[in-house]
Every structure is written in C-alpha cells, then in structure tokens.
Amino acid sequence: MAAPHELTALEQWQALQRGEISPTELTEHYLGRIEAQDSGLGAFVSVTADAARKRARFVEQLMPRSMPLWGLPFADKDLQSRAGVPARFGSRLMQDYVPAESDDLVLALDAAGGVSLGKTSTPEFGLPSYTETLAGPPARNPWDRSRGAGGSSGGAAVAVAARLLPFAPGSDGGGSVRIPAAACGLVGLKPSRGRVPSSSGINALGGLSVAGPLARTVADAALLLDAMIAPRGGHPQHLYSLRPPGDDAPLLAAAVRGEGRFQLGVMTTSAWDDAYPIEIAPEALAALMVAVDGFASMGHGLEETALEPDDSYVPAFRAIWQAGAASIPADTPEQEKLLEPLTRWLMNRGRELSARDLAQALTALSAYERSFIRQLSRFDAVLTPALALTPRPLGWYDAVDGERNFAQQVQYTPFTSMVNVSGLPAIVLPVAETGAGLPMGVQLIGRPGGEATLLALGAQLERRLQWQHRTPPEAGGPGLPCAR
C-alpha cells in the first residue's frame, strides 16, 4: 500500500472519508516527514506540532466529514497571521511579533476542516520573487538544493514538492504562487480578483494580491481553491459586490473531467519588454513547445499573438510596488537597519512618492488592465512561458543594489505581474525538465472568471504528460521512492 504522502491530496481526502486513515494519523505522518526531511530545505519557519495534534483531534471528533478539507494538513504562509503563532514576515524586524487575531484566510481554511502544521517560509514582507532572507535559511529547491525555490510562496512550494504537505496556500501579488510553483515543478493557480472572499485582492493596493493554491496535480489545486472560496461548502460568503463573472460552482469537477476544446493564444511578449532586456532561455522555449504540441495534438486551436507596446506599465507598476513597501513598520533608523537592502530601497522609494504619483500610477494600471483584457479577449486562454529562465542559483540576486535586484527579478519573471494588474486568473503547469533535471513550466492566462477553463486545460495536459508521477530527489529520501 502506498504511504500517505505518495497519494495525491484528493486521494488522501478520499482515504480520510473512507476511514482508511484518520486526521490524527495523517497529521503524525506529515509531522514525522517534516522532522526527518526539512532540515536543509528551509520549507518551514515554525512547526506547531502540539497545536496540530490538538487540532487534528478536534477535526476528527467534532467536525463533519463533509467539510471540504476534513483532516487534510496544510501550513500557513508566514505572511498570514494565526493567533498565538509568531508571524515574522520573513524579516528580522518582526522576529518578536505574535498576533492576537487570525487573518480571514487562516480562519477560512480552519472552517474548511484543514489542519495547520505551522508556517512556511517567505522572503521579507513577500516583496521579492525568491525566498532567501537574512532572517533564516533559504528555501532550497527540492530538485537541486543549490537552486532557489522562487517566491514569495517559496517555503510552501518546497513543502509540497518535497511531500511535506499534500498542498499549500500561497499569496500572489506579482507572481508569488506561480513563480515558486514553476521553479519547484508544481501546479500553481492565481484566481481572478474577487474570487476568494477571504483574500480577494479588492482591498489590496492596485488590487494585486490574491490567495491561491500550490499543489502536485490540477485536481489537488482545485480541491484547495474550492475550500478557499467556500470553506463550509455551498455558496461562498462574498464580502464585496465586485467579483468575477460567472457562477460560484465548485471547480473540482472541471479539474477531474478535463473536458472541452478551446482556442488558445501563444505569447512570448510581456509588459516589461521595452524597459528591460528580456531573454527567454532555450529551456523555457522548449517547455512552451511541449505544451503547444500537447494542446495541438488534442485538437485545440492555437494562434501566435503578441502584446501591443505600452510605455506606461513599467513606471506605474514600479510605483505601486514601492508604495506597497512604504507602510512597512520601520520608523526609526534602528528599525530600518534590520531590513534587507532591497526592502529598504523599495520602502524609501515608496515614501518619496507623492499622492499625485500614486494616483497617476493607479490610473495607468487601470488603463493597462482594460487594454490587456481587450487584447487577449478573442482567446479562451493564452499560453506563455511560466518563467524566462531556469530556476536561479542561490545567491544569484544582487544583495546590495536594489535597482539591479529589481531588474533581475523582472528578467526571471516577466510573464507574471501583468496578470495581477489585470485581475485575470492564471495557472502554471509543470510540463518539462531540463537536461539537468530542473522543472520547467508554462502559464495559461484565462478570461475574467475563467478558472474552470484553465483547470480543464490543465487536466488534459496532465493526463498526457503525467507530471504528477515525477519525484524530486528530496521527496522521499533513502528507501522511500514515491512510486505509484
């Protein structure tokens, strides 16, 4: 019989429903794996073992099995507050902060019947697209420990790829779910703005950041996303009148069935092309062709497309990213010294912006959103590389010069932030490996509210390529291959 971590999250949920394993047994299994495997990987910044055991007993004894995540372990990203658990935000500045209240997303996942095992690592305040921080060890890629896991949901990606969790929630303000998913060979889904009530993006600056799942399979991503949307099942409790078009039907069915034929655009241009030298690595183009060939063989229509030039996007996005850092609670020289150089650069630039600067940037990004959606509107989904380069070596990013560091991030991840600005859904799919065994993915950008189409397309490609059976070296350890 397969060990629990060798099963998909959906298979684990089904085993829980059948009584083949209990929530307490599954929790103990993953706590044991974390203790044995996480040393040197940097997936977790804290493991709340006693609280997890208590929570698993509560779920087992007092919560109905019908809850969407009944008994399934997960972990909170360390940008999310859980009452009584340190929330360090990847920063030395926040080392002693223990929140008294939990964030809405944390409460939602609890309401769905999940069992939190602790906190996954994130870069300082979630600002970089890589998870290497002065506050703790880096998140190392389970496919090659000398490589980074991406960010800012880097710890979550490491935990799922190394089979330390069945799946994990992340947050995505400029690619922070999709970047680490691509780097670590996972499925990562950024929902439409307004889709997830507890982390809709509507109250975020520029509407950029939303919560989304990281998982090994398309169905697992849909399972977690459904729980984020409607933690108690049934109709979700939306907190704003703004939401994506379409109904609130569960998405797991689309991911399991994987049906439909669609018209796809294929695009290698990005919003950053005119401001930075963007070069797409051969490995990224090869992965794109794997997806193109796969979709073409299944009868989907494919057509090359390109973005119109736009000189307003880059300064506007930079201004919003800097403005978002301006509220970091570093108000004295001593506190500022605890921040990393990139964070200080972003924060100080953000504090130099005027109200007029901010208003102009928000107006420009709103116009870009309309233009981007218009340009892609004739397609059911648009296919791009997930990342422009292979997973980056640890220490590759400039640790001193904030401007150069920002440019490096753009060159690695040019295809992600424009999706946040537009509020569209997007999914990353792990379609290929390099000659050195590193995962490479592609991104599908959907129409507003088009998550079901993305999941159906992902399921079709998954059935063809069978990526769910690939196992990184760090996933099992000696004598524990992940063979199914």
DSSP secondary structure string, 44-73? EEEE-HHHHHHHHHHHHHHS-TTSTTTT-E
Q: What's the chain's length in residues? A: 484
Output the pTM of the full model: 0.97
The pLDDT, as a whole number, for residue 476 is 67
From 145, 177, 199, 211, select the one nearest 437 (Cα to Cα): 145
Give the model's confidence band at 474: pLDDT under 50 very low, under 70 low, under 90 confident, else very high: confident
C-beta separation of 463 from 258 below 8 A: yes
Q: What are the residue ranges of helices labelled H in 117-232?
A: 154-161, 178-183, 218-229
Residue 479 has a pLDDT of: 28
Model confidence pLDDT, tens digit, residues 75-117: 999 999 999 999 999 999 999 999 999 999 999 999 999 999 9
For residue range 250-291, what is the model confidence (pLDDT) as tens digits? 999 999 999 999 999 999 999 999 999 999 999 999 999 999
Residue 427: DSSP 8-state: E
Active-site residue list? 77, 152, 176
Q: Is the per-residue pLDDT at 481 higher than 80?
A: no
pLDDT at 246 (0 to 100): 87
Position 477 scores a pLDDT of: 41
Looking only at Cα atoms, what is the longest distance across the chain?
63
pLDDT reported for residue 480: 30
Closest by CA position to 122, among listed 77, 167, 76 = 77
Instruction: Tell me which residue has tokens 């439409």.
Output: 192
3-state DSSP assignment of residue 92: helix
Q: What is the mean pLDDT of the chain?
A: 96
- Which 8-state DSSP code applies to residue 216? S
Condensed to tens digits (0 to 9), the pLDDT of residues 366-384 reads: 999 999 999 999 999 999 9
Residue percentage of the chain with pLDDT more than 90 = 96
| Residues in a beta bridge with 215 | 167, 187
CB 251 within 8 A of CB 228: no
Q: For residue range 157-167, list pLDDT tens digits in order.
A: 999 999 999 99
What are the backbone dihedrals phi and psi of residue 87, each rounded to the nearest 5 degrees, phi first? Answer: -120, 100
Q: State pLDDT tens for residues 345-370.
A: 999 999 999 999 999 999 999 999 99
Q: Give the pLDDT band (50/70/90) at residue 209.
A: very high
How far is the C-alpha of 437 from the C-alpha of 121, rounded, in Å?
24
Q: What is the pLDDT of residues 124-160, one digit of tens each?
A: 999 999 999 999 999 999 999 999 999 999 999 999 9
Tokens representing residue 463 in the block: 């059935």
Is the distance from CB of 227 to CB of 69 less than 8 angstroms? yes
Separation of alpha carbons 316 and 347, rounded Å: 16
**482 confidence band (pLDDT: 50, 70, 90):** very low
pLDDT (tens digit per residue) in 424-462:
999 999 999 999 999 999 999 999 999 999 999 999 999
pLDDT higher than 80, residue 176: yes
Residue 483: pLDDT over 60:
no
Per-residue confidence (pLDDT) for residue 444, from 0 to 100: 99
| Mean of pLDDT values over 300-310 | 97
> How much is the average pLDDT of 199-210?
97
Long-range contacts, stretch 96-104, CB < 8 angstroms, 24+ apart: 103/198, 104/197, 104/198, 104/199
pLDDT (0 to 100) of residue 275 = 97
Helix ranges, 298-401 (H)? 313-325, 333-337, 341-352, 355-376
Among candidates 135, 108, 55, which has minimal Cα distance to 238?
108
